[in-house]
Amino acid sequence: MAEDNSTSSPVGKLRQHWGSRLGFILAATGSAIGLGNIWKFPYITGDYGGGAFVLVYLVCVVVVGLPLMLAEFMIGRRGQENPVGAFQKLHRKGSPWQGAGWMGVASGFLILSFYSVVAGWAMAYIFKAIAGFAGSPEQIQDQFTQLVLSPGDSIMWHSIFMVLCVAIVIGGIQHGIERWSKILMPLLFLILLGLMFYGLFSTNGGLKALAFLFRPDFHKLTGEGILSALGHAFFTLSLGMGAMITYGSYMERGARLVRDAIAISVLDTFIALMAGVAIFSLVFHFGMEPQQSVGLIFKTLPVLFAELGPWISVPFFVLLTFAALTSGISLLEVVVSYFVDERGWSRTAAALVMGGLIYAVGLLCATASLEVPFMGGKGYFGFFDDLTTNYMLPIGGLLTCLFTAWVFRDKDRVDEFGSRGFAYRAFVFLVKYITPVAVVIVILHGLKLLPFMDYSH
């Protein structure tokens, strides 16, 4: 850790900073791009019927996601602290807004507990890919069911993934997080591009996939679908729990946040759409069902990989694992930065203890994974996912938005935004009137609580 990259923090320790602006962008992009784009986006799009869901998701990214990402960067860089500390510093000690920070720490904890299990599946598939996928499509798809139903394997891979996350977070900002992101994100982009073109031009499913994803059929859109589209906009952009506040806090003054937020959101959306096109081309080519739930990519892609061979499949699952890792460490980093900044723990102790607890909670998801009914039949996995993605993240985002709109001092806000021009006024208008209202409406609609709507059927 170079001295000149650090500033004093309230507890008297030196705060680490990114080594370069590119390092920050790649790390934030690495946090955003992960299983959410490649695993989750295609499967929930399949479950919620395609085009109309995708459209709502895209609207949410622009109207809610982009302004909030900017808001989180601004709060983080201004506060130079973990989410709890940042809200206090920008308001006052003991401010009730720190509650938003706590909820973020709790969200990070819960999300990582199931995220790690899915990341573990991705790792398991590296070795299945090395061994080679062979047999009928049904046999290949069966491998996923076997993996999920054998807790021993799931637990082993979940353990390995958590150990990696903890080790990198202990390594710290520049030497841990930044270095990895720089190398691996560009590679992932290239391989997805290749798979998308293959899906579009070398299978019979390309056109059907495009129609499925981009021709909206609003009859298929439910209140739950709209809520999930909003929740996914938060999830995929790593918003609503202070991850971007934390990453913003490792940033020095001077970077142009608006441009960075736009670049990251666009890139993240592109990756998700590319993955969607690639995967649905295969789904339609092989005549499979789009509704395959959490198994979608693990069941469809290997059928193609059986034809393409390990030269494509092994790098794919390796990169998917790394994408998951750069996201997983951002989840852990939020929890760790809270204990380091606010409780005075050492980075190593915080990473080990919290990583250990997250691991333990994750065991529930790995063992009971999908089958054991719990909380309305969803299983721990679905329950944690639904609770965090559809409620905790949107509510955390709503609070962050209200804070930015009404509490963040205008002078500081302009300073962080970088100008007072039209873009700034548009941003303030969005976070004051549009974004919060949109989030509240979608949550109420998802809960079937919106007045003037008929929920009787």
188 is an interface residue for ligand TRP by CB under 6 A: no
Alpha helices in 134-178, H assignment, sequence order: 137-149, 151-171
Alpha-carbon separation of residue 180 from 108, 122, 133, 151, 413 (angstroms): 21, 18, 29, 30, 32
Q: Which two tokens stand for residue 299?
A: 């069941």
Q: Which one of the spans 34-42, 87-95, 148-156, 218-226 is the region binding ligand TRP (CB under 6 A)? A: 34-42
417 is an interface residue for ligand TRP by CB under 6 A: no
Question: Minimum distance between the CB of residue 329 and ligand TRP, rounded to whole angstroms?
Answer: 9
What is the number of residues in the chain? 457
Contact 439, 96 (CB under 8 A): no
Alpha helices in 61-178, H assignment, sequence order: 66-79, 83-90, 98-131, 137-149, 151-171
Nearer to ligand TRP, 113 or 203 (CB): 113
Nearer to ligand TRP, 24 or 284 (CB): 24
300 is an interface residue for ligand TRP by CB under 6 A: no
Nearer to ligand TRP, 29 or 141 (CB): 29
181 is an interface residue for ligand TRP by CB under 6 A: no
Judged by CB under 6 A, which of 111, 184, 245, 438 binds ligand TRP?
Answer: 111
> What is the C-alpha separation between 249 and 15, in angstroms, rounded?
9
32 is an interface residue for ligand TRP by CB under 6 A: yes
Residue nearest to ligand TRP as judged by C-beta position: 36
Question: Minimum distance between the CB of residue 221 and ligand TRP, rounded to whole angstroms?
Answer: 22
Nearer to ligand TRP, 141 or 330 (CB): 330
435 is an interface residue for ligand TRP by CB under 6 A: no
Nearer to ligand TRP, 267 or 407 (CB): 267
Question: Minimum distance between the CB of residue 401 and ligand TRP, rounded to whole angstroms?
Answer: 15
How many residues line the site for ligand TRP (CB under 6 A)?
16
Within positions 238 to 267, which residues make up the interface with ligand TRP, using CB under 6 A?
A: 238, 241, 243
Site string for ligand TRP, 318-337 (x = CB under 6 A): ---------x--xx------
Alpha-carbon separation of residue 373 from 44, 133, 383 (angstroms): 20, 31, 10
Q: Which two tokens stand for residue 278?
A: 């690639």
Judged by CB under 6 A, which of 16, 29, 37, 265 binds ligand TRP?
Answer: 37
317 is an interface residue for ligand TRP by CB under 6 A: no
Amino acid at 354: M
Q: Within the chain, how many helices (H) and strands (E) appear?
A: 22, 2
Nearer to ligand TRP, 35 or 274 (CB): 35
Contact 107, 394 (CB under 8 A): no
Judged by CB under 6 A, which of 19, 23, 36, 397 binds ligand TRP?
Answer: 36
> What is the C-alpha separation between 283 and 228, in angstroms, rounded?
22
> What is the C-alpha separation between 86 and 36, in angstroms, rounded?
27
Phi-psi region of 252 (alpha: psi -120 to 50; beta: other; left: phi over 0): beta
Nearer to ligand TRP, 90 or 275 (CB): 275
Contact 240, 387 (CB under 8 A): no
Query: Could you say which DSSP state residue 48 is in?
Result: T
Judged by CB under 6 A, which of 29, 88, 113, 236 binds ligand TRP?
Answer: 236
> What is the C-alpha separation between 368 and 377, in angstroms, rounded?
12
Within positions 376 to 395, which residues make up the interface with ligand TRP, using CB under 6 A?
A: 393
What would you report as the CA-atom Rg of the chain, rounded to the nearest whole angstrom?
A: 21
Residues lying near ligand TRP in the complex (CB under 6 A) are found at: 31-32, 34-37, 111, 235-236, 238, 241, 243, 327, 330-331, 393
